[in-house]
Amino acid sequence: MMMNFAYLFATVGLIQGLKFMGDPARAKTGNMLAAASVVLALVAVVVATGWAGSTHVLLLVGLLTVGTLIGKTWSSRVAMTAMPQLVSIFNALGGACAVVLSLNEVYGAGTPVDNKLLGGVLILTALFGGTAFTGSMVAYLKLDGRKLPRPAQIHKVLARLLLAVLAAIVAYYFAMPTDASTYPTVLLAIAIAALAYGIFLTLPIGGADMPVLISLLNALTGVATLMAGLLFHDPVMIIGGILVGATGILLTLQMCTAMNRSLGGVLAGKIISAKSTQSEVEQDIRSITAVETASLLAFSKQVAVVPGYGMAVSQAQRECFALQEMLKGTSVDLHFIIHPVAGRMPGHMNVLLAEANIPYESVLEMTAVNDTMEHYDTVLVIGANDVVNPAAENDAESPIYGMPIIRAYKAKQVVVMKRSMAKGYSGVVNTLFDRQNCKVLFGDAKESLAAIITELKRI
């Protein structure tokens, strides 16, 4: 009975912790609450299995200590620009654990699998875990700029072939009579095919689809955790897996909608490339200085900032906070408008802004302001490119046509901060620069914002 209460408290704590993580002001509390709930669940498992006082406890405590030290050191040292890579690696480790658990149950513990229920759970654990492991590792390498084979049609063909093989093996297992002697071979074949599938599933997917990919792989790890929970009859793992899997799938669908991409297209590694003529278009770029931008802001009443990966690269979020505080003193309202796929992972920009203590109420979703963008006197676009490109709305031949964007072009004046005229991840020319109300402030975003703030102090 006490163990059931412990599982109940751990489950409620985990759910509440995840709920807190949705609010930047309580995210740290939510993280600690979820971690404490997992520890409580582990203690309950130790007591329920009779491990208390055995060498298993020493091994468990030792591994937890080592893992905690590695995780703490790693996460403390990683730059915010590399946070998507860190998330990918952590997700990969979760998938790897699922594969090891399923294989260990058969090859290590020697459990005879003589019924479809147990066998099916082990197969799905290996399938989802293996795909999440290698897929997340390839995603990490892509995000980290490592050399990988260029996306090619052969990768898509191999991915589809492996998916067909996996489906055939699973169908064969459930259709044929149970044979405990051949099951280990079936499970190993599933694990190997899933590991290979994760690689070829991810290789063709371009950088613009990284938020979708990370969210999808996270959902697969959640499903693998759910299967592992069923295997070990652990209610906390089951509920945690359901929550992670369900939220990951919902977020994946939201990401696809935000990019006007079908989930099937992403899974198939559909490669979108710009027409060659687009890369040759010459644009009449109107530049602006930091002094002129400061003057523009000083005479504005409504200002919006659209952050992108460029803000993460330059680590300019604290300067954004300083700019907001300064403009607040002159009765200027400043909002931060977030596109769902800005950055390299879901919520990347929100994390950066929360790190700089920017009030959550001033951070707005794209859908909340898109119909009233003309009310903004000035919009600062910091490193974002594709998510403000008007071609998505008015150029039917553009590869990003139909993708919902932030309608920055409707503002009275737009200032885009860029290091150079390099294109975004889609490789599409940004027609925003052709608009008469758009000017470009060249330079590092952090340095440019610092110069703007200095000039505003003089005005």
Which tens digit of pLDDT belongs to each residue from 288-343? 999 999 999 999 999 999 998 889 888 899 999 999 999 988 888 999 999 987 87
What is the percent of the chain with per-residue pLDDT over 90, rounded to a whole number?
A: 37
* Of the candidate ranges 6-20, 169-183, 203-217, 428-442, the one whose mean pLDDT is the lowest: 203-217
pLDDT for 1 equals 65
Q: Please tell me the predicted confidence (pLDDT) of residue 49.
A: 72
The predicted structure's pLDDT at residue 281: 57
Is residue 131 predicted with pLDDT exceeding 80? yes
Looking at residue 109, its pLDDT comes to: 82
Q: Quote the pLDDT of residue 426.
A: 54
Is residue 149 within 8 Å of 199, Cβ to Cβ?
no
- Residue 355: predicted pLDDT: 80
pLDDT the model gives residue 282: 66
Confidence of residue 31 (pLDDT cuts 50, 70, 90): confident
Q: What is the pLDDT of residue 382?
A: 94
H or E segment to which residue 20 belongs: helix 2-20
Q: What pLDDT shows up at residue 291?
A: 94
Supply the pTM of this predicted model: 0.75
- How does pLDDT run across 243-281, given as a tens digit for each residue? 889 988 888 887 787 766 677 766 655 544 444 344 445
Q: What is the pLDDT of residue 274?
A: 45
Which residue is catalytic, options 386, 395, 434, 444? 386
Q: Is 386 a catalytic residue?
A: yes
Q: Answer with the residue of higher pLDDT: 234 or 238.
A: 238
pLDDT of residue 207: 63
> According to the model, what pLDDT value does residue 279 have?
46
pLDDT at res. 364: 92
CA distance 176 to 116: 10
Q: Please tell me the number of Cα atoms within 13 Å of 70 on its side-chain side.
A: 10
In CATH, the number for domain 277-458 is 3.40.50.1220
* Mean pLDDT to the nearest integer, 9-29: 82
pLDDT at 370: 93
| pLDDT bucket at 423, cuts 50 / 70 / 90 | low
* Three-class SS of the chain: CHHHHHHHHHHHHHHHHHHHCCCHHHHHHHHHHHHHHHHHHHHHHHHHCCCCCCHHHHHHHHHHHHHHHHHHHHHHHCCHHHHHHHHHHHHHHHHHHHHHHHHHHHHHCCCCCCCHHHHHHHHHHHHHHHHHHHHHHHHHHHHCCCCCCCCCHHHHHHHHHHHHHHHHHHHHHHHCCCCCCCHHHHHHHHHHHHHHHHHHHHCCCCHHHHHHHHHHHHHHHHHHHHHHHHHHCCHHHHHHHHHHHHHHHHHHHHHHHHHCCCHHHHHCCCCCCCCHHHHCCCCCCCECCHHHHHHHHHCCCEEEEEECHHHHHHCCHHHHHHHHHHHHCCCCEEEEEECCCCCCCCCHHHHHHHHCCCCHHHEEEHHHHHHHHHHCCEEEEEECCHHHCCHHHHCCCCCCCCCCCCCHHHCCEEEEEECCCCCCCCCCCCHHHHCCCEEEEECCHHHHHHHHHHHHHHC
What mean pLDDT value characterizes the chain?
85
pLDDT tens digits, one per residue of 62-104 = 888 998 898 888 888 887 677 788 888 989 999 999 999 999 9
Please report the pLDDT score of residue 278 as a whole number: 47
DSSP label of 439: E
Amino acid 253: pLDDT: 85
List pLDDT tens digits, range 347-393.
Answer: 788 888 888 888 888 999 888 999 999 999 999 999 888 889 998 88
Please determine, for residue 219, whether its predicted confidence score (pLDDT) is greater than 80: yes
Report the pLDDT value the prediction gives residue 45, as an integer from 0 to 100.
78
Residue type, 352: L
- Cα atoms in the 13 Å half-sphere on the side-chain side of 162: 25
pLDDT confidence of residue 273: 45
Share of the chain above pLDDT 70, in %: 91
Task: Give 7 or 279, the one with higher predicted confidence.
Answer: 7
